[in-house]
């Protein structure tokens, strides 16, 4: 199965929504908690002929309805979705048995106002432009794996004095992936990554965001964030 990350960075397997990358393969967009119906049942049209003594029916058109997906309304998921919102894109639904459904459409998203176990939920809305008539039997040849952080990441609060201004976070990744770390405000806190460990050091009172980029040759790059408060 394709690899992807949840809002807490845990390695997951299963169905997901994918988007076509620049090299024509499909990469995981974000994990979703549901899969909508592919298309409506074909409409039926009555057919009457003067010499027939009964009404017969023929298959009519199918409706490509708007698709709605539920996801965890988390900062990293929002950052990912903002890259694709409002654009006409090619999507693929990857099912748990490696079958898939391809379609094109325009993406929008918003918060649903529902909480599940304390986690806010959001909804992705895709207005479908076109879809393939039949599902794909095996999507693996068109799927691009994603380099990911597999260990949970939590926001942190640290001090700025020499006795309490540093935290070291063990980082686990998918096989062969590398990580780079950067702080939005190095005057508030710095971040360095080496030997599978992320070191965050408080410099001055304030807030900053640590941004992590996980990459590997031949795989899609993923991005995670840690909100840091320096007291």
Looking at the fold, whether 109 and 176 belong to one and the same domain comes out as: no
- What CATH number corresponds to the domain at position 178? 2.60.40.1080
Least confident of 54-63, 128-137, 196-205, 221-230: 54-63
Residue 47 lies in a domain: no
Note whether 21 and 102 are same-domain residues.
Answer: yes
CATH number (domain holding residue 112): 2.30.110
Q: Is residue 81 part of a domain?
A: yes
52 lies in some domain:
no
Q: Please tell me the total count of domains within the chain.
A: 2
How much is the pLDDT for 22? 80
Tell me, what's the pLDDT at 56?
A: 75
The answer to whether 212 and 186 are in contact (CB under 8 A) is: no
130 with 199, same domain?
no
- The string of pLDDT tens digits covering residues 157-199 is 999 888 889 999 999 999 999 999 999 999 999 999 999 999 9
55 within domain boundaries:
no
Do 15 and 84 sit in the same domain of this protein? yes
Q: Which helix (H) or strand (E) holds 82?
A: helix 75-82
- What pLDDT does residue 41 have? 63
Mark whether 213 and 111 lie in a shared domain: no
pLDDT for position 123? 93
Question: Are both 68 and 166 inside the same structural domain?
Answer: no
Least confident of 3-12, 92-101, 107-116, 188-197: 3-12
pLDDT at 7: 39
Q: Which residue do the tokens 């794909």 mark?
A: 136
Q: Are residues 167 and 214 in the same domain?
A: yes
Whether residues 18 and 122 fall in one domain: yes
Kindly indicate the confidence band of residue 49, based on its pLDDT and cuts at 50, 70 and 90. Answer: confident
Segments forming the whole domain that contains residue 226: 156-230
Burial of 22 (0-12, 13-18, 19+ CB in 10 A): exposed
Is residue 80 scored above 70 in pLDDT? yes
Does a structural domain hold residue 54? Answer: no
Do 108 and 167 lie in one domain? The reply is no
Query: Does residue 21 sit within a domain?
Result: yes
Within-domain flag for 72: yes
pLDDT band, very low/low/confident/very high, at 14 (cuts 50, 70, 90):
low
- Does 148 map to a domain? no
Spell out a b/e string for 168-184, using b for 16 or more CB atoms within 10 Å of the CB, else e.
Answer: ebebebbeebebebebe
Residues 175 and 68 in one domain: no
Whether 163 contacts 129, CB under 8 Å: no
């Amino acid at each position: 199965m394709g690899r992807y990350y949840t809002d807490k960075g845990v390695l997951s397997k299963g169905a997901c929504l994918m988007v076509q990358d620049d090299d024509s393969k499909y990469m995981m967009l974000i994990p979703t908690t549901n899969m909508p119906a592919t298309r409506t049942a074909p409409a039926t049209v009555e057919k009457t002929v003067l010499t027939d003594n009964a009404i017969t029916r023929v298959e009519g058109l199918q409706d490509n309805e708007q698709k709605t997906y539920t996801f965890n309304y988390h900062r990293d998921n929002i950052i990912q979705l903002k890259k694709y919102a409002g654009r006409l894109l090619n999507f693929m639904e990857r099912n748990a048995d490696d079958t898939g459904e391809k379609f094109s459409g325009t993406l929008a998203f918003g918060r649903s106002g529902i909480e599940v176990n304390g986690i806010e939920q959001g909804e992705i809305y895709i207005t479908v432009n076109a879809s393939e008539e039949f599902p794909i039997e095996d999507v693996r040849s068109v799927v691009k794996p994603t380099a990911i952080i597999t260990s949970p990441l939590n926001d942190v609060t640290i001090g700025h004095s020499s006795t309490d201004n540093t935290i070291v976070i063990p980082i686990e990744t998918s096989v062969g992936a590398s990580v780079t770390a950067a702080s939005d405000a190095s005057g508030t806190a710095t971040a360095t990554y080496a030997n599978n460990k992320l070191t965050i050091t408080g410099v001055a009172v304030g807030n900053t965001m640590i941004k992590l980029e996980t990459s590997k040759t031949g795989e899609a790059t993923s991005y995670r964030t840690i909100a840091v408060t320096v007291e």
